[in-house]
Amino acid sequence: MAQEARCVWQARAVLGEGPLWSPRQDAVYFVDIRGSRILRHGLSDGSQAGWDLDDAACWLVESADGDGFIAGLRSRRVVRLRLEPGRAVVAGEIARIEPDKPGNRLNDGKADRDGRLWVGSMDDAEEAPAGSFYRIDTDGAVTPVDEGYTVANGPALAPDGRTIYHTDSAARTIYAFDIGADGSLSGKRVHIRFTEADGYPDGMTCDAEGGLWVCHWDGGRVSRFRPDGTLDRAIALPVSRVTSCVFAGPDLDRLFITTAAHGRPDEPLAGSLFECDPGVRGLPPGQFGSPLR
């Protein structure tokens, strides 16, 4: 099993985040929140493309109807987004979150296998616990499910669809919740707590065996934790600010990892997209609007 991450694109993303595997397009997409860009890496041909945005995207998921993407914007809007040659087009609004909190922004989001979105908000200054965790149903209804986050991050869904993990990076804590049949959350508990030496837990994803892959901001690695929260193994990267990861490829056996160049001018590969061979397979990406069958 290879335990080495290799650079596949020196994108120099200021804050690379939110990687998404698109089976339709055989590509990994990710966002550069501070750089206001969306970036695309083709798996079969190694092609690379980018789109500049006026309102930065903080995460992307694909729309189940095949009509582009759903994006969470820095302005706390959730919109339909089409990526056309040379331009990104907002094609409609699904929801507005926290219109009364101009100091907040969206940060991370995922779609589950029932077609719903799970989205976190955060204090843009990263100082106050002003962020919350939300569920957005397929009809656009927004429901707050938890609160008190300074830097909400990395929702990840267990293979059985009954557990969701969510992080407050500033508190160095990953929480686990039980998901009810109606989408309600219960049983909030501490799943993993990072030490100062670990850095901060950032983006994360689950594999098909229930392992949780967590990226270490200021920790220079991505770690796999067993379903009981104990550490299984870690993969080191040649950069310190490791932000998020996604399983990709037709067999979901390739792990792509985003990083950040922000505050790291002396790290030549900071902000690059990396790939490693994880030795396990991931889960199919959720899409907004329709359950996975």
Both tokens of 98, joined, read 């926290």
Give the SS3 label for residue 9: strand
Write out the DSSP string of 42-63. Answer: ETTT--EEEEE-SS-EEEEEEE
Residues annotated catalytic, as ranges: 202
User: At a CB cut-off of 8 Å and minimum separation 6, what does 208 contact?
Assistant: 159, 252, 280, 281, 282, 283
For residues 23 and 156, give the distance between their C-alpha atoms in angstroms, rounded to a whole number: 19
Q: Tell the burial category of 81 from Cβ atoms under 10 Å away from its Cβ (0-12, 13-18, 19+).
A: buried
Pairing assessment for the beta strands 57-63 and 48-52 based on DSSP bridges: unpaired
Cβ atoms within 10 Å of 241's Cβ, excluding its own:
26
Both tokens of 39, joined, read 């970036």
For residue 255, the one-letter residue type is: L
